[in-house]
Amino acid sequence: MSPLKTLRTKPLSPRFGVEVLDIDLATVDLLDVFPAIRACFEHQSALLFRNQKLPAQTHMRLAEMFGPLEDRKADEKLPSDPFEISQLSNVTANGGVTGAMELHTLSLKSNQLWHTDSTFLPIPALVNILTAKIVTETGGETEIASTRLAWHDMPESLKRRIRGRGIHHRFSHSRAKIDAELARQHAIIKWPDTHWNSIWRNPVTGEDALYIASHAFRIDGMDEAASEVLLTELTEFCTQPEYVYSHKWTVGDVLIWDERATIHRGQPWDYSKPRALASICSSVTEADGLSSMRMV
Ligand SMILES: [Fe+2]
């Protein structure tokens, strides 16, 4: 029996993504339900689970089933220090909210550029597992665009301009689009540039997807200005409404997406209102196609 048939699902959008029903993520076992979830992830690129309780330990346990936990602060900590879940939150320790122009809020705003997580890391992300803790009534949606379907549909004349070329990524490139001071922060500039293939072939399904991000700043064989023009054109193609699923958050939602086959962005909300999502990315491994992405 196909693993997909063991999960009850309903579509999130006409061509990609499903809501998975009747699953309590706290009870998922690596050898039992997880293989069906993973198979669904490979084919659908985005999975939604509603009404979940996802405390830190459950969140981490689920992420570890996909791959090694991504820890961008590992170089600043002792190996014995606990893993910290990334909080996409404007809530402060005293219960207030950060100001709209504070660096922390600007950092949240930079998530509103279409991007893939962690393309600027030496080992990029396979998956983001994002869950809502505090939501606002309006705004703050997460939008996911399928670069797999977009690549499938893309005219050959456009494909030809990027196929076979590597793309260079730099974290500060995306942050500089939001704020110059943000782009100078140590946490932003500490990563050396990366260089990835522009197409990620899923080793399980054999399907290709365009691998781009707001962090991409130069395409092989082009100067930065020409690269920006083409990257914008490619992003605009991939984010046409037919390739986009927009998720309006409810507390307890868990949204999981394949970083190899999608780009995403957050939508703004009223920054005077508290809002908190918790995120863990898991890193890719060789089994996810990493070596084929490295440009020599
Ligand atoms: Fe992101």
Q: Which residue has the higher pLDDT, 248 or 110?
A: 248
Q: Tens digits of per-residue pLDDT, 34-48?
A: 999 999 999 999 999
In tens, the pLDDT along 24-37 reads 999 999 998 999 99
Centre of ligand 1 to C-alpha 113, Å, is 9
Tokens of 214: 């707001």
Identify the pLDDT of residue 35.
95
Structure-block tokens of residue 296: 């020599």
pLDDT of 54 over the 90 cut: yes
Output the pLDDT for position 3. Answer: 43
- For the ranges 70-84, 210-224, 262-276, the lowest mean pLDDT is seen at 70-84
More confident residue, 80 or 265: 265
262-266, strands of its sheet edge to edge: 244-247, 142-146, 262-266
- Mean pLDDT over 96-109 rounds to 81
Least confident of 189-203, 224-238, 264-278: 264-278
What is the pTM for the complete model shown?
Answer: 0.95
User: Looking at the predicted structure, is the pLDDT value of residue 220 above 70?
Assistant: yes
- CA 50 from centre of chain: 19
The answer to whether residues 134 and 91 touch, using CB atoms and an 8 Å cutoff, is: yes
Residues 2-6, mean pLDDT to the nearest whole number: 51
Instruction: Give the whole-angstrom CA distance, residue 136 versus residue 248.
Output: 10
> Is a pLDDT exceeding 90 seen at residue 149?
yes
Query: What value does the mean pLDDT take over residues 140-144?
Result: 97
CA of 284 to the centre of ligand 1 (A): 16
Who surrounds ion ligand 1 at CB < 5 A? 117
Cα 264 to averaged position of ligand 1 atoms, centre (Å) = 6
Ligand 1 geometric centre to CA of 153 (Å): 24
Q: What's the confidence (pLDDT) of residue 281?
A: 97
Q: How many angstroms does the Cα of residue 152 sit away from the middle of ligand 1? A: 23
Kindly state the percentage of the chain with pLDDT values over 90: 83
Exposed/middle/buried for residue 131 (C-beta within 10 Å: 0-12, 13-18, 19+): buried
User: Considering the domain 3-293 in this protein, what is its CATH number?
Assistant: 3.60.130.10
Range of lowest pLDDT (84-93, 96-105, 234-243)? 96-105
* Of the listed ranges 79-83, 128-132, 141-145, 256-260, the one predicted with least confidence: 79-83
Identify the pLDDT of residue 106.
Answer: 82
pLDDT of 167 above 90: yes
Backbone φ and ψ of 106, nearest 5°: -60, -35
Please report, for the chain, the start and end positions of each structural domain, with discontinuous segments joined by +: 3-293
Least confident range of 2-16, 35-49, 193-207, 215-229: 2-16
* Res 12 pLDDT > 60: yes
- Look at residue 95 in the predicted model and tell me its pLDDT: 81
| Band (80; pLDDT cuts 50, 70, 90) | confident
Write down the pLDDT at residue 4.
43
Ligand 1: centre distance to CA 256 (Å): 11
pLDDT band, residue 5 (cuts 50/70/90): very low
Ligand 1 midpoint to CA 209 (Å) = 17
* Distance of CA 111 from the midpoint of ligand 1 (Å): 6
Q: What's the 23 CA to ligand 1 centre distance in angstroms?
A: 25
**How far, in Å, from the CA of 2 to the mean position of ligand 1?**
31
Between the CA of 157 and the centroid of ligand 1 the distance, in Å, is 29
User: What is the whole-number distance in angstroms between the Cα of residue 45 and the centre of ligand 1?
Assistant: 15
Give the pLDDT of residue 76.
87
pLDDT exceeds cutoff 70 at 9: yes
Can you read off the two tokens belonging to residue 83? 């893993």
281 CA to centre of ligand 1 in angstroms: 9
What does the alpha-carbon distance between residue 183 and residue 185 come to, in Å, rounded to a whole number? 6
H helices of the chain, in order, are 34-44, 56-66, 103-109, 147-153, 156-162, 171-176, 180-183, 186-189, 224-238, 290-293
| pLDDT, mean over the chain | 94
Residues facing residue 283 across a β-bridge: 125
Distance (Å) from CA 31 to ligand 1 centroid: 29
- Separation of 208 CA from ligand 1 center, angstroms? 21
